[in-house]
Structure 1
Amino acid sequence: MILWHYPSKNLINLTNLKNALHIWRADIDLRPELLTKLAVNLSLDERQRADRFYFERDKKKYIASRGLLRIILSGYLNIEPDRLEFRYSQQGKPELNNIDTEARLCFNVSHSQDLAVYAIALNRAVGIDLEYLRQIADVQQLAERFFSRSESSLINALPESQQQQLFFRFWTIKEAYLKATGEGLSGLQAIAVSITPENAINLSSTESNILLNNQWFCTEFKPGAEYTGALVVERKDLEENAIEYFTLETDYIMNH
């Protein structure tokens, strides 16, 4: 069972990430005064991107998710949130640009509906995905379009009430892997997911038939009653009990 707890200053530092990984969850439907505090820390290009959102609710959630990322990262690096600079891969994956340290702080972000999750690691490529569990009318057709034949067969063989859940399990683990590698969704069908007898996830490549679990640690988690999440990170001897789960609360935001 996953226990989400509040962060303390003695836990949030680079030393504690050497043999661990941290997952954060945060509400991004925030009060105006919190949004104002977070917006001040954003860079010019982040503010310009926020202004390009057509709907005000999407603009506010972008400001919240990006501002909270800065708050989280600044706690590990002990610098002000507005001093962080980012660069982007060709697929748009962000990474820190102006932190001169031998320890490479790696991160990934996902948000859905009113929730965001953040994966924080040290010297490990990492990807995280979050999905709000909503009803999909054409789940069988989507599975046949985006998944392998074995995956779509597993979904289609289930009662209709269980198909949605398995679809989202497959989708989140695949997307988390593609975000970890930086490949983007174009590689969705090259990744195969299977379920072990213990109901855990196995990850492999359909192109070379390599069990990716040997190279990557993958796990699922529940950040909320109506959400499902998945994490994929470079294994490097990382064990599941080395993952710590934090809830980002208002007090932490206001004090950073």
Structure 2
Amino acid sequence: MNELSIRPTPITWHLPEPASTTPMALNARETHFWFTDLDQPVQDEMADFLLTLLDEQEQARALRFRRPELTQRFVMAHGRLRQVLGRYLGIAPAQVRFCYGDRGKPALEAPLASALQRSSDQPLAQIRPLQFNLSHSDRYALIAVSHSPIGVDLEVVKSFPSASSLAQRFFSAKEFEVLQLLHDTEAATEAATEADTEADTEAAPEPETAGCSLARSVAFLRHWVCKEAYVKATGEGLVDQLPQVVVDFSAGARFEALPRSQGESQGEWQLLELTPSWETVAALVLPEGVPCHCRYWQC
């Protein structure tokens, strides 16, 4: 059996306590995940409120979408992010402000990070600024919060016709070979199905053909989210690095190789594969050696 045919068990999500002015606890050993359905019905007042939480650039971007559901998803994702971060900071979501790295990675403005340090019970030397990352795909969003640099990526599972062409461009030779093996399996299944159908014209085609196609798409997406989470964690966002980010699933998801152009070694980052739901695949990347005790919340 191909190792990519086995996915992690879907996460059980928990409802958090109501928000309060007391900051939500997050110790240095924990990573918190927040998962939300961006298509969940919301009252007009809430939709308007979430829009007001966004900065001017985000509001302008949201209103450029031509389809109302895309506007709602964008506003929900970025509004929920501020609500979540406000819980940890003990402030109103409207007070959450971001600064951006050279390649667009958001971070909390310095005064907010300093306020978090002052409010913590841990010794100052042990405190690092709050780190976060957001990913959204179709109707779902995933937020990761930690005290370490992190990157998270989420994709909705669906048929992906361009998987092979993208893999040829952005995957290593070994990773592309794995996808090609699934393609060959699919072709063999199709041939067997056609032969069975010709032998018995009354027999209905077997359903595995669509399943193989979806399996190949899932395999592609599982590689893809790991690569994307890495470039988001480093903050470099360089797509030309993706072929050098080599993921191995033979014994659980891990990095087999990473880019070395900036002095990284493949031991400096660890990878965690996630299944937020059977409809989605996701991955988290954080520094090697950092404990990753995960807690899962729904918002």
Instruction: Please classify the TM superposition score into its range, dividing by the shorter chain length.
Output: 0.7 to 0.9
2:201 equivalent to 1:191: no
Partner of 2:284: 231
Partner of 2:37: 27
Partner of 1:170: 223
Measured after TM superposition, the shift of residue 62 of structure 1 is 1.1
User: Structure 1 or 2: larger strand share?
Assistant: 1
* Partner Cα separation in structure 2 for residue 111 and residue 65 of structure 1: 7
Does structure 2 retain, via aligned residues, the 8 Å contact 1:43–1:82? no
More deviation, 163-172/100-109: 100-109
1:116 corresponds, among 110, 135, 141, to 141
Measured after TM superposition, the shift of residue 54 of structure 1 is 2.9
Provide, for residues 179-206 of structure 1, a one-character-per-residue CA deviation record: whole Å limited to 9, x for no partner: 000121232122111122x343334226
* Partner Cα separation in structure 2 for residue 49 and residue 90 of structure 1: 19
Query: What TM-score, normalized by structure 2, do the two folds share?
Result: 0.74
Partner of 1:221: 274
Measured after TM superposition, the shift of residue 131 of structure 1 is 0.4
For the residue of structure 1 that corresponds to 2:135, the secondary structure is strand
Measured after TM superposition, the shift of residue 171 of structure 1 is 0.3
Distance change in 2, residues 1:165/1:44 (3 Å): closer
Provide, for residues 148-203 of structure 1, a one-character-per-residue CA deviation record: whole Å limited to 9, x for no partner: 1111011101223132221111100000010000121232122111122x343334
More deviation, 53-62/141-150: 53-62
* Partner Cα separation in structure 1 for residue 149 and residue 102 of structure 2: 16
* Partner Cα separation in structure 2 for residue 37 and residue 108 of structure 1: 22
1:147 corresponds, among 157, 171, 177, to 171
Measured after TM superposition, the shift of residue 207 of structure 1 is 5.1
2:13 equivalent to 1:4: yes
1:40 corresponds, among 45, 52, 55, to 52
For the residue of structure 2 that corresponds to 1:38, the secondary structure is helix
Does structure 2 retain, via aligned residues, the 8 Å contact 1:14–1:76? yes
- The Cα RMSD (Å) is 2.4
Q: Give me the identity figure in percent.
A: 31
* Partner Cα separation in structure 2 for residue 26 and residue 138 of structure 1: 27
More deviation, 226-235/168-177: 226-235
2:104 equivalent to 1:92: yes
Measured after TM superposition, the shift of residue 55 of structure 1 is 2.6
* Partner Cα separation in structure 2 for residue 210 and residue 45 of structure 1: 33
Equivalences for residues 43-82 of structure 1 within 5 A = 43-82=55-94
For the residue of structure 1 that corresponds to 2:112, the secondary structure is coil
AA aligned opposite 1:246: W
Partner of 1:253: none
* Partner Cα separation in structure 2 for residue 210 and residue 234 of structure 1: 11
Does structure 1 retain, via aligned residues, the 8 Å contact 2:53–2:93? yes
For the residue of structure 2 that corresponds to 1:67, the secondary structure is helix
Gaps of 5+ in 2: 1-8, 118-127, 187-211
* Partner Cα separation in structure 2 for residue 151 and residue 100 of structure 1: 39
Distance change in 2, residues 1:247/1:193 (3 Å): same
Query: What TM-score, normalized by structure 1, do the two folds share?
Result: 0.86
> Could you say which structure has the larger radius of gyration?
2
